[in-house]
Amino acid sequence: MLQSVRDQIVTSFCDALKAAGSPCPIFRALTQPLHRDDSIPGIVVMPGTEAIVTTTRRLQLRTLNLKVVCVFGSPDTDDETIDQKVEPLTSWVESALLADETFGGLALKSEVKSITWHIEAIDEDYIGADMVIEIQYQTARNAPDVQG
């Protein structure tokens, strides 16, 4: 079975994060809860949404939104600089993305579109940030698993 271009991009991004000397574990499409002792802080990468932007006779231009969740840990409710705990993770992800914005030529371009902070205690389990990375790429119209 062929690996889709989308899957190749997600794999390439996860590999790039790991190769850049990740400051914490990298998880792809988290299937198990994060455990405080061995996986927090952590970064989770998963496909979010995808849209076909334009279609020509031979090609489809697609936009993939990757969701990257940076999880830090339980907040100290008296800490007024709690956002600074997650900031190094989001900055590091952004720097790793800028090192190869085309994922080795798989994509046309990519950029961070938004960061949503979760700085209040959510069930007092963690603080973090959700990043949305928009990636534009092409596939063959008649074979979505083939790069266009």
pLDDT in tens, the chain (148 residues): 568 899 999 999 999 999 988 888 898 876 666 666 666 788 999 999 999 999 999 999 999 999 999 887 765 556 666 667 788 889 999 999 999 999 999 999 999 999 998 766 545 556 789 999 999 999 998 877 778 7
The contacts of residue 140 (CB under 8 Å, 6+ apart) are 58, 59, 60, 146, 147, 148
pTM above 0.95, yes or no: no
**Angle of CA points 109, 110, 112, to nearest 5°:** 155
